[in-house]
Amino acid sequence: MAYVWVGLGGTIGALLRYQLSKWIGERIVVSFPLATLIINVTGAFLLGFFTRSLGHIFPHLGSAPMLLLGTGLCGAYTTFSTFSYELVILLRESRYAAAGFYLAASLVFGLAAAGVGLYGLPGSA
């Protein structure tokens, strides 16, 4: 049954990533991989949030919610491969400032989002 939960979540996550990437690309025209940055940062937050919350919200369902939403949805929604590819393209085009910003922003904002999702905002209950 675990494969079903992961597969279902993965299908939903991949479709969400595709739709959000397309939606951002149609509304914000920049020569920077903004869609991937937004997707990866929001995915990091969601994975942290799901890790913190699902066991408390659905304790009687065991690992199914995390398999569906954490492993499946977040795993397919976020994309390290696209991030890596876009970073290499920026470097190949000699866009070093954009590449540096993309790398730093992905790391800093991704870690911050995961921390907020996992632990909440500093000072929050």
Residue 11's pLDDT is 98
- Kindly state whether residue 113 falls inside one of the protein's structural domains: yes
- Kindly state whether residue 125 falls inside one of the protein's structural domains: no
- In this prediction, residues 55-76 reach a mean pLDDT of 94
Q: What is the pTM of this model?
A: 0.92
State how far the Cα of 19 lies from the Cα of 1, in Å rounded to an integer.
27
State how far the Cα of 69 lies from the Cα of 36, in Å rounded to an integer.
19
Residue 55: pLDDT band with limits 50, 70, 90: confident
- Kindly state whether residue 44 falls inside one of the protein's structural domains: yes
- Kindly state whether residue 45 falls inside one of the protein's structural domains: yes
Which structural domain range is residue 107 located in? 2-119
If one counts the domains in the chain, the total is: 1
